[in-house]
Amino acid sequence: MDQAVPKLLSQVQTLGDKFSSSKDVQTRAELRKAVAKLSLALEEPGDILERVTMQFLEVVSIKIGINLKIFDILVNSEKPKSLAEIAETTGADPVLLGRILRALDSVGAIEAVGDEIYGPTTTSRTMVVPKLYSGVIHCFDYLSPVWNYLPKYLMETNYKNPTDALHTPFNLVYKTPKHCMPYIMQDPEWLTPFQLYMSGFDEGRANWMDFFPVEEKLGQGAHTDGVMFVDVGGGFGHEALALRKRFPALPGRFIDQDLPQTVDGLHLEGIEAMAHNFLEPQPIKGARAYYFRNVLHDYNDDICHTILTEIRKAMDSSYSKLLINQWVVPTQHATRLMTFQDLNMMAMLAAVERTEKQWYELLEKAGFEIVQIWKPNDEVSECLIEAVVKGEGPQETNGTT
């Protein structure tokens, strides 16, 4: 037995007692981490092999469950359902269905409450929410073939860090010379689950407005007749709208910029929709804040340099701020989501989820200095990087919080 087990057992007990009384988010996160470490520490080699080799079939079984609407059947029923009842509703072969149901029960996606009688679990209830189960469809149907090719691709390229966005596992698997994002945009069958997945990607995470002092940093000294906020590559304008609603006293205009196919016909109260390609000169000069959310992780350093340079040229060096709402990946004990998403960015786009050092290097080369990296009180939410034009912005102490 791993020598860490007694210590981890004590830690789980302590955190469990604390969570039972407090129910706070941070304790829940710490408890989950401690339980996961305990589970790993209790594994024998055979357990490790089973976990590593069989984990993909958990996703397979859940995908079949989604296709057959098994989760909808159980969640929407007032009582548990028998195998025969589920077979009648789905039209699936009862013998086949029994095998699928047993697999789903084994991973906690459903619960066997009797002999071939099943009820829903938390996973079942998650898999009936479109913006959540669309993540399974997006990852399984479209991303997993690319992920499967990544080991071979890296071997073939002599384990060089990928930087060419037009020569990736994605390009080779889908046999296209196109960049990943335009390819997705032209395929409705892919685009729909992708957009739904993105709409639910932040489920349970802190918003940057929760831990960044908006009124102090943006409101104080702001021009009443200027542009307050430009969401660059802002999609459907949700961030600009949320900021305006949460801080109605902020003066000035709020602008959402994205490609024409995204913003054409977009109407949000108090938000201006503007067609713009962020690789081209920024038309809005001297705004209070230029904001990027989950944009720069789609591109390698060279392209990011171009994007950031165009923003710097548009900024008023004594007034404007650059705000980047993105993960800052720790170099120790980073989460599975961060590190696996980094591998996904590598495989699909030859891009990267950056560490703190990489963010400093990228921004410095583009002519910025980081004022502060504002960090949420959890390990899954994105940070907010506050930066100004190098050597000319407000003099504040660099650091993290």
**Residues forming the active site:** 297
Host H or E run for residue 257 = strand 253-258
Helix (H, G, I), strand (E, B) or coil at 53: helix
Q: Which amino acid is at 339?
A: T
* Rounded Cα gap, residues 397 and 98, in angstroms: 62
Vertex 326 angle, CA 176 and 310, to 5°: 70
What phi and psi, each to the nearest 5 degrees, are found at residue 48? -65, -45
Asked if 52 and 101 touch (Cβ cutoff 8 Å), the reply is no
* Rounded Cα gap, residues 240 and 256, in angstroms: 7
* Rounded Cα gap, residues 216 and 210, in angstroms: 13
- CA dihedral of 337, 339, 343, 344, whole degrees rounded to 10: 20
Asked if 315 and 389 touch (Cβ cutoff 8 Å), the reply is yes
Token pair of 267 as six digits: 């109407």
How far, in Å, are 57, 91, 105, 326 from residue 102 at the CA level? 13, 18, 5, 39
**Counts of helices then strands in the chain (DSSP H, E):** 18, 10
